[in-house]
Amino acid sequence: MNVTGAPAAKTVEILDMGAADPAWRFTAETRFPRVMCDAVLLPDGTVFLAGGSSGGGALSGATPVLETELYDPATERWTVLTPIHTPRLYHVSAVLTPDGRVMIAGKDGPLNPFPYHYAEHRVEMFSPPYLFRGPRPVIADAPAEVRYGENFVVRSPDAAAVATAVLMRPDSSTHSVHMDQRLVGLEITGRDGDGLTVQAPPNANVAPEGYYMLFLLSRAGVPSVARFVRVR
């Protein structure tokens, strides 16, 4: 069956698992219809959307979308950002990196239609808008490992300007599915000079055991470069 011209969707749905009676609901549509796109969760809670095709399917996405978009969960609105430079269709991966940027890579040859049936070996690094809002907090020291529910200290010369701390699960993606994306907000329970006392996640239901990227964010939402922390 030829599905090259099959339309893509712009609809977006949200499922709030914290609600008393969880149910899918529609939120604002994306500005561009897409199939095979990648949505990357960022440390400030926004979602970066890139790549895909405006029609077709996995083997027939012949109309690449170059524009990127950013979803703000506070306003439930999408903003169009700068475009990527290369078509990102079937077999693409986009992941958050420890410096707060998004790495977009890949696209195979045999499983993409003409004229995109070539292997894409170039990698693009996308800098989200929060990297242009002011100075970045610096993590001078953080523990390599924390236990569930314990308080731990993060050292930063910018401690007074830090508004929030989050753990981001290192991501992997394929076929537009991000299997392990997770943002865990952390409570800052104390401040003392250059020290922030932070409470670790309560249990494995909130943060499964493993390695996370610890980010500090300024009041303007600018993230630090992450430190890897093992939660157990």
- Name the more confident of 176 and 197: 197
For residues 134, 135, 141 and 145, what is the CA-based torsion angle, rounded to 10 degrees? 20
Give the Å distances, CA to CA, from 71 to 39, 52, 103, 156.
10, 16, 18, 29
What does the pLDDT average to over 145-162?
Answer: 97
**How would residue 195 be classed by pLDDT, with cut points 50, 70 and 90?**
very high
What does the pLDDT average to over 41-64?
Answer: 94
**How would residue 3 be classed by pLDDT, with cut points 50, 70 and 90?**
low
CA 160 to chain centre: 26
How many Cα atoms within 13 Å fall on the side-chain side of residue 184? 26
Taking only the tens place, the pLDDT of each residue in 109-146 is 999 999 999 999 999 999 999 999 999 999 999 999 99
What does the pLDDT average to over 43-52?
Answer: 97
CA–CA separation, 206 and 186 (whole Å): 11
Q: What is the pLDDT of residue 44?
A: 98
Give the Å distances, CA to CA, from 217 to 142, 143, 205.
15, 18, 24
What are the phi and psi torsion angles at 131 (to 5°)? -75, -5
What does the pLDDT average to over 98-105?
Answer: 97
* In the chain, domain spans: 12-129, 133-231
Q: What is the pLDDT of residue 36?
A: 92
Percent of the chain with pLDDT over 70: 98
Q: What is the pTM of this model?
A: 0.94
Is the CATH number 3.10.20.10 carried by domain 12-129? no
CATH number for the domain whose boundaries are 133-231: 2.60.40.10
Taking only the tens place, the pLDDT of each residue in 70-80 is 999 999 999 99
